[in-house]
Amino acid sequence: MAQNDFENFKQEVSWLIGQNDSVEIRPVISKTFSPEFISTFPTLYQLLQQSGSILGVDIVTSKNKKSNYYLYTWTDREGLKCGWLCKAEHIHSEIDVLSEHQLLLDEMGGISETYHHFDTETEMLTDNQNFIFIKSELTKGLGDWNDLYEQVCTDENVKQMDTTDLICFAVEANGNEVFYDPNTKQVFLFASDHSFENVEVLNGQAEYTFYTINGVTTFVDYVETLAGQWLENVITEDN
């Protein structure tokens, strides 16, 4: 069954594994989480506990670059498989992440790929993301968006917020980025072009720059909201 879960994943995310890449799969009989993880992320913990299988997946590319992952697989309410491929890293970074972020990385990993066929109108936080939470992908500050942000603030006569310390922890395929402020733990979406219905322009900022996400204030809120969206759509012991 676990092998089938990996084959389902490969069909859904066909671009991830190259023709000359080698893959080693290891069934994870049980995965435990610390009391701190459980108390910090209770909804996420509940979701992970409902996974039908957890696989260790090691991928070595043709250029001999090795990456380690966990593949979490669930069954949705229509009987279809869905899952997350989470990257497990043990790296040093010059970016000092929140303790809650590091806890997430240490015990679950950062989300590299997701797939699902949920019949829902909810705007899923995992949709169309290049990555979420992965430490090696993190950046600090607005980066390539700096010039645009400065120009929009000038045009709209809006005071720029200090973006120096912001940490980007998720990037959408269209370039929108999700940040948190490590000083306040507050989460912001920077979206130069979007059609979201679950966001509001950040108070004091201009349209098509910074937004807040409805129901999300802090990094932990973001994680728990993301997990809750999936928990509503997968089969659990209670349904």
- Shared domain check, 74 and 165: no
Kindly state whether residue 148 falls inside one of the protein's structural domains.
yes
116 in any annotated domain: yes
Do 117 and 155 share a domain, yes or no?
A: no
* Residues 30 and 68 grouped into a single domain: yes
Q: Is the same domain home to 175 and 207?
A: yes
State the CB neighbour count (10 A cutoff) for residue 162: 9
Would you say 223 and 41 are in contact if contact means Cβ atoms under 8 Å apart?
Answer: yes
Q: Do 129 and 19 share a domain, yes or no?
A: yes
Question: Based on the domain organization, do 163 and 119 belong to the same domain?
Answer: no
Half-sphere exposure of 70 (CA within 13 A, CB side): 21
* Residue that is last in its domain, among 106, 135, 164: 135
Q: Is residue 10, in this structure, part of any structural domain at all?
A: yes
- Predicted confidence at residue 239, as pLDDT, reads 58
The answer to whether residue 75 sits within a structural domain is yes
Same domain, yes or no: 157 and 59: no
d(CA 85, CA 70): 6
Which residue from 184, 68, 187, 190 is spatially nearest to 136, judged by alpha carbons? 68
**Do 148 and 129 fall within a single domain?**
no
Are 22 and 47 members of one domain?
yes
Q: pLDDT tens digits, the chain, 239 residues: what are they?
A: 567 899 899 899 988 888 888 999 988 867 899 999 999 999 999 999 999 999 999 999 877 889 999 999 999 999 999 999 999 998 989 999 999 999 999 999 999 999 999 988 889 999 999 999 999 999 999 999 999 999 999 999 999 999 999 999 999 999 999 999 999 999 999 999 877 889 999 999 999 999 999 999 999 999 999 999 999 999 886 65
Q: Specify if 149 maps to a domain.
A: yes
Task: Count the domains in the chain.
Answer: 2
Could you tell me the pTM of the whole model? 0.95
Range of the domain at 33: 2-135
Residue 116 sits at φ, ψ, to 5 deg, of -165, 165
How many other C-beta atoms lie within 10 A of the C-beta of residue 42? 12
If asked whether residues 170 and 110 sit together in one domain, one would say no
Domain end among 91, 115, 135: 135
Q: Are 165 and 181 in contact (CB under 8 A)?
A: yes
Query: Per the domain annotation, does 163 fall within a domain?
Result: yes
Query: Distances from the Cα of 3 to the Cαs of 77, 154, 200, 203, 237, in angstroms?
Result: 21, 55, 43, 49, 23
Last residue in a domain, options 120, 135, 150: 135
Q: What is the DSSP letter of 186?
A: B
Report if residue 67 sits inside a domain. yes
